[in-house]
Amino acid sequence: MSDSDLREKLREIIAEVSEVDEIPDETPFKELGIDSMMAIEIVAEVERTFKLSIPEDELKKMTHFTAVYDLVKSKLAAAA
């Protein structure tokens, strides 16, 4: 999967769960109205979609889009 495809799919997942149309790279999820329950749903969908396991201690780092992208990209690279 290309970087742009990965970014697009992650934005799609986050937008669908949060019902936020625009997901900027660095805006904190809190500012977008994404609460902890939505964050759990996002992580669950990311794990299902990409067949990944994201440890609980890494969830705290997923505070904005770029953090999610970087984490998923590194997990996918490690699994390859």
Residue-wise DSSP of 7-60: HHHHHHHHHHHHT-S---SSS-GGGGT--HHHHHHHHHHHHHHHT----HHHHT
Section 63-77 average pLDDT: 95
User: What is the CB neighbour count within 10 angstroms for residue 55?
Assistant: 7
The answer to whether the CB of 1 falls within 8 A of the CB of 76 is: yes
Predicted local distance difference test score (pLDDT) of residue 59: 86
Residue 42 pLDDT exceeds 90: yes
Tokens for 67, please give them: 């953090």
Using alpha carbons only, give the angle 26, 36, 79 rounded to the nearest 5 degrees.
70
Which domains, ranges and CATH numbers included, belong to the chain?
A: 3-79 (1.10.1200.10)
Across the chain, mean pLDDT equals 94
